[in-house]
Amino acid sequence: MLRIPTGHETLVTTDFSLEGIHFRREWDTPERIGHRCLTRGLSDIAAMGGEPVAVFLSLALPLKLPQGWVDGFARGVLKLARRFHVTLAGGDTASSPDGVLADIIVVGSVPKGQAILRSGARPGDRIYVTGLLGGAAQRIFELYSTSGKRRRAAHTPTPLPMPRIEIGRLLRERGLASAMIDISDGLSTDLSHICEASGLGADVWENAVPRAKLRSNQLADVRIALHGGDDYELLFTSPRKSRVPDRVGRVPITQVGEITPTGKVTLVDNNGARSKFAAHGWEHFSHDFSYRSRL
Amino acid sequence: MLRIPTGHETLVTTDFSLEGIHFRREWDTPERIGHRCLTRGLSDIAAMGGEPVAVFLSLALPLKLPQGWVDGFARGVLKLARRFHVTLAGGDTASSPDGVLADIIVVGSVPKGQAILRSGARPGDRIYVTGLLGGAAQRIFELYSTSGKRRRAAHTPTPLPMPRIEIGRLLRERGLASAMIDISDGLSTDLSHICEASGLGADVWENAVPRAKLRSNQLADVRIALHGGDDYELLFTSPRKSRVPDRVGRVPITQVGEITPTGKVTLVDNNGARSKFAAHGWEHFSHDFSYRSRL
């Protein structure tokens, strides 16, 4: 039984993490896979400006899975849960016909009427992202598409995503975000969700998109930063008159474009040339790249 | 966003329905599989004396699944949800590496402090079950273990389980149930959960267990009624002085034994002979029967 504070609404998120679709056991440690699994749910709560209250985990495991893997996965989930003072309150266990199947449910709360929705953007609002984009997807892309030394290098773990709960709360408390979503499927896809829900369009300035610095000291590929998923940063819109800080703690907040009344989502390149900024561009970019689900 | 009534606690249940583990597509219509999927969650809410508020469905589908199957599955879920005035409030979709994977999340509410727990049984309490047991498992057993005419007959659908929301509410409102659980894994397994949580034992009277009437007009096998799962009836304990009705609407309520202070769960047969009533007895009874998960 959960106690949601009086005057608060209950938020519920549910996200699958499926072996072979969302992760591969040979590409990451169980701790990191557990961390990413819970990140998916906490990041959804952050994007509504909510506070996480409790976590539920449905886990189906193949019979031959080593116990050590399960222990590591659970450690990854629990360590991140503790970081946000959330309890693992229950769940379901089953045997899996094939591969590890996890569904993470996060219950959260937000003061009544204050949840930040996808539908609240207005023409002229500025579009911001937290953090740097493309780091997670660049690693996966190299594991898929390269070989030899470059592929081995890609096996080296990259920094783990951290759900932006504190930034989501700050944006809600200060009334800074008119619409918000987390970047789980990629900037192009998640921005299209805000534009659709708000019935508006957007201009995105290619040059402004903050790209992750890779281990090689290069920046992530610009197409990967624009379309790749799994960064779990926040994407939000803010009225022009609002004063959005340029960082919160060590996390930069960067304007990447603005909302337009057109209904079209457009990418503006460094020379001012305009092209359609298609959602699911990531798929078009690489048909073989089936890491993220697209149903 | 969900509004939980003031003075109520939030209940959350999560239950996997995995193809090859919990169901087989060749054995049932998609509507019936959808119905059973939601029944798992609603039945958990019923067992706490709660009211369902909203449903969330995470669904991973193989790429080659016909759209008609998905539509049928959704119809089965939505029809049952409407029956209990519950909305499908969200969820997640993904592509599945193998088979249909569903996780159903039901959010419910119960007046503060009034949820019926597994741990509330007291020595001398009577043990009751709603409805008739063994019908669902008998069909599965025959699909697994028989051939020819008998197996073809088993393909004929049996009545669908109906979550006992109204009975759970009535038991809570009248203060009749000291402990409660739903029979999803079988009477022996689910009774052991109540006994463990309450730190007590039980005597179960074999002859008293109400068995489902099969299409053949025979009763379900007694071992299947004792150990088979998937009936989604309620199992509850009630103090001796309570007046438990012998039916609610058309659903019989039957005393099947009593709680003892011993810590042992015992089956008492028609001759008064006593034997250990082992949880998971179903597994021991048939090693090949892997229909239910046992993790």
What value does the mean pLDDT take over residues B92-106?
93
Q: What is the DSSP string of chain B?
A: -B-PPTTEEEEEEEEEEEBTTTB-GGGS-HHHHHHHHHHHHHHHHHHTT-EEEEEEEEEEE-TT--HHHHHHHHHHHHHHHHHTT-EEEEEEEEE-SSS-EEEEEEEEEEETT-PPPGGG--TT-EEEEES-BSHHHHHHHHHHH--HHHHHHHTSPPPPP---HHHHHHHHHTT--SEEEEESS-HHHHHHHHHHHHT-EEEEEGGGSPBPBPTTSPBPPHHHHHH-----EEEEEE-TTS---SEETTEEEEEEEEEESSS-EEEE-TTS-EEE--TTHHHHH-TT--SS---
pLDDT, tens digit (0-9, with 9 covering 90-100), for A82-103? 999 999 999 999 999 889 999 9
Say what the pLDDT of residue B148 is: 73
Say what the pLDDT of residue B139 is: 84
Lowest mean pLDDT among A285-294, B167-176, B213-222: A285-294
Euclidean distance between CA atoms B81 and B90, whole angstroms = 13
CA distances from B263 to B117, B192, B235, B257, B266 (A): 18, 10, 18, 15, 10
**Would the pLDDT of A289 be above 70?**
no
Say what the pLDDT of residue A280 is: 67
Average confidence score pLDDT of chain A: 91
Across the interface, whether the CB atoms of B9 and A2 are under 8 A apart is answered yes
Euclidean distance between CA atoms A30 and A36, whole angstroms = 10
Say what the pLDDT of residue B280 is: 67
pLDDT, tens digit (0-9, with 9 covering 90-100), for A109-128? 999 999 999 999 999 999 99
pTM exceeds 0.95 for this model: no
Q: What is the DSSP string of A210-233?
A: PBPBPTTSPBPPHHHHHH-----E
**Would the pLDDT of A140 be above 90?**
no
| Buried b / exposed e along A11-25 (16+ C-beta atoms within 10 A) | bbbbbbbbbbbbbee
CA distances from B287 to A145, B193, B221, B281, B283 (A): 45, 22, 17, 10, 6
Measured between its terminal Cα atoms, the distance across chain A in Å is 33
pLDDT, tens digit (0-9, with 9 covering 90-100), for B175-202? 999 999 999 999 999 999 999 999 999 9
Helix (H) or strand (E) holding A203: strand A201-205
Euclidean distance between CA atoms B225 and B208, whole angstroms = 11
Residues A42, A84: contact at Cβ < 8 Å? yes
Residues A266, A200: contact at Cβ < 8 Å? no
Say what the pLDDT of residue B282 is: 52
Residues A187, A226: contact at Cβ < 8 Å? yes
Chosen for mutation from A13, A14, A25, A63 (greatest number of chain B CBs closer than 10 Å) is A14
DSSP-derived secondary structure letter, A153: H
CB within 8 Å of A176: residues ≥ 6 apart: A170, A236, A238, A242, A243, A244
Tell me how close the Cα of A39 comes to any Cα of chain B, in angstroms: 15
Average confidence score pLDDT of chain B: 91
What value does the mean pLDDT take over residues B208-234?
93
More confident: B246 or B295: B246
Mapping DSSP to helix (H, G, I), strand (E, B) and coil, where does residue A287 land? coil
pLDDT > 90: what percent of chain A?
Answer: 78
Report B:98-157 residues touching A (Cβ under 8 A). 98-99, 101, 103, 105, 107, 110, 112, 115
Euclidean distance between CA atoms A252 and B220, whole angstroms = 66
B229 Cα distance to chain centroid: 7
Which ipTM did the prediction report?
0.84
With CA atoms as reference, report the closest residue to A38 among A25, A26, A23: A23
Range picked from A126-130, A278-282, B25-29 for highest mean pLDDT: A126-130
Q: Is A4 within 8 Å of chain B by CB?
A: yes
Euclidean distance between CA atoms B12 and B211, whole angstroms = 31
Instruction: Name the pLDDT band for A285 (thresholds 50, 70, 90).
Output: very low
Say what the pLDDT of residue A215 is: 80
**Would the pLDDT of A35 be above 70?**
yes
Closest chain A CA to residue B7: A6
Q: Is B16 within 8 Å of chain A by CB?
A: yes
Chosen for mutation from B12, B98, B291 (greatest number of chain A CBs closer than 10 Å) is B12
Question: Please, what is the angle between helix A165-173 and helix A30-47, to 10°?
Answer: 10
pLDDT, tens digit (0-9, with 9 covering 90-100), for A147-194? 777 677 666 777 899 999 999 999 999 999 999 999 999 999 999 999
Chosen for mutation from A96, A185, A193, A292 (greatest number of chain B CBs closer than 10 Å) is A96
CB within 8 Å of B242: residues ≥ 6 apart: B126, B175, B176
What value does the mean pLDDT take over residues A43-71?
96
**Would the pLDDT of B8 be above 80?**
yes
Say what the pLDDT of residue B260 is: 98
Mapping DSSP to helix (H, G, I), strand (E, B) and coil, where does residue A197 land? helix
Euclidean distance between CA atoms A171 and A227, whole angstroms = 25
**Would the pLDDT of B77 be above 60?**
yes
pLDDT, tens digit (0-9, with 9 covering 90-100), for A40-53? 999 999 999 999 99
Residues B129, B254: contact at Cβ < 8 Å? yes
Say what the pLDDT of residue B281 is: 56
Say what the pLDDT of residue B157 is: 72
Euclidean distance between CA atoms B191 and A294, whole angstroms = 43
**Would the pLDDT of A138 be above 70?**
yes
Q: How many residues does chain A have?
A: 295
Say what the pLDDT of residue A293 is: 31
Lowest mean pLDDT among B116-130, B147-161, B277-291: B277-291
